């Protein structure tokens, strides 16, 4: 699947996935609205280590690409349902090969007052980690393998994620 | 033949990213995949969800040739 360059929408939230560098500066500027006094922008970066894995040099994000945007949009819908004052939301995720310091994910939320923008942005990043079909493969000084920080891919329904369903007939 | 797509650790364990398999239900297709791909794949399957056309499905979910079944291991997008 070819990924188009990310550009903000005419209406609605800015949701996207790309194998190119994420437009962090454009994201928070787009989220700015006259009636919003606060924007919280969260950038998730590739770190040089993970649990028991010193010297991380790169990551490869693999995605079930057709379902990334729909799942991000669900997170955005949930955020709007919880914080009715959200002006604009940005949820962008990068895929492909990333190096230390690269931006892997961007969340931006604008609201009239600051507390809601912090809360909404935090909700979005925490939730998308559990619901969006993306897998992180780490390369570090001792080898390479899938991330050990993984979550059951639960559909978000506002409750605590249920345990995995059995996949075999009993 | 139903199309089974494999991602992340499931793709790596199977050695392919997609395969056509015979089966009337998710359970049938998953069983055929386990037979084909072996124990490493089964271990990933134990902790994975199965989606049909993007929605959570169980072993009794019926599938046809137009359905896309996916093995969705625990996800690790975002960041720490």
Q: Is B9 on the interface with A (CB under 8 A)?
A: yes
Nearest chain A residue (CA) to B70: A64
- Tell me whether residues B51 and A105 touch, CB distance under 8 A: no
Residue A157: pLDDT band with limits 50, 70, 90:
low
Which domains are present in chain B? 2-72 (3.10.20.30)
Residue A146: pLDDT band with limits 50, 70, 90:
very high
Please list the alpha-helical segments (H only) found in chain B: 8-14, 26-37, 39-46
Distance, in angstroms, between A54 CA and closest chain B CA? 14
- Tell me whether residues A169 and B25 touch, CB distance under 8 A: yes
Spatial distance between the Cα atoms of A118 and A109, rounded to a whole number of angstroms: 8
Spatial distance between the Cα atoms of A68 and B79, rounded to a whole number of angstroms: 16
ipTM for the predicted complex: 0.95
Domain A14-140's class?
alpha beta
Give the number of C-alpha atoms closer than 13 A to the C-alpha of residue A50, restricted to the C-beta side: 25
How much of chain B is helix, strand and coil, in % rounded to 5? 35, 30, 35
A100 and A149 Cβ atoms separated by less than 8 Å: no
Please say if the pLDDT value at position A4 is more than 70: no
Please say if the pLDDT value at position A170 is more than 50: no
Distance, in angstroms, between A168 CA and closest chain B CA? 5
Residue A67: pLDDT band with limits 50, 70, 90:
very high
CA dihedral B33, B19, A3, B77 (to 10 degrees): 10
Please list the alpha-helical segments (H only) found in chain A: 24-31, 68-82, 114-131
Spatial distance between the Cα atoms of A117 and A88, rounded to a whole number of angstroms: 10
């Amino acid at each position: 699947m070819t990924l188009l360059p990310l550009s903000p929408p005419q209406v609605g939230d800015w949701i996207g996935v790309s194998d190119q560098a994420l437009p962090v500066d454009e994201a928070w500027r787009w989220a700015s609205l006259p009636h919003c006094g606060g924007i919280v922008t969260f950038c998730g970066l590739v770190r040089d280590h993970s649990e028991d894995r010193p010297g991380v040099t790169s990551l490869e994000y693999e995605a079930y690409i057709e379902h990334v945007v729909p799942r991000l949009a669900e997170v955005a819908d949930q955020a709007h349902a919880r914080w009715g004052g959200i002006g604009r939301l940005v949820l962008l995720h990068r895929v492909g090969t990333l190096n230390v310091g690269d931006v892997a994910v961007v969340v931006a939320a604008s609201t009239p007052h600051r507390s809601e923008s912090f809360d909404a942005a935090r909700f979005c990043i925490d939730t998308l980690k559990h619901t969006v079909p993306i897998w992180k493969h780490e390369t570090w000084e001792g080898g390479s393998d899938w991330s050990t920080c993984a979550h059951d891919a639960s559909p978000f329904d506002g409750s605590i994620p249920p345990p995995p369903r059995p996949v075999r007939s009993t | 033949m139903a199309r089974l797509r494999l991602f992340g650790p499931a793709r790596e364990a199977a050695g392919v990213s997609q395969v056509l398999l015979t089966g009337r239900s998710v359970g049938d297709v998953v069983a055929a995949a386990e037979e084909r791909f072996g124990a490493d794949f089964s271990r990933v399957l134990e902790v994975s969800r199965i989606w049909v056309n993007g929605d959570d499905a169980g072993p009794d979910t019926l599938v046809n040739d137009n359905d896309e079944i996916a093995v969705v291991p625990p996800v690790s997008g975002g960041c720490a």
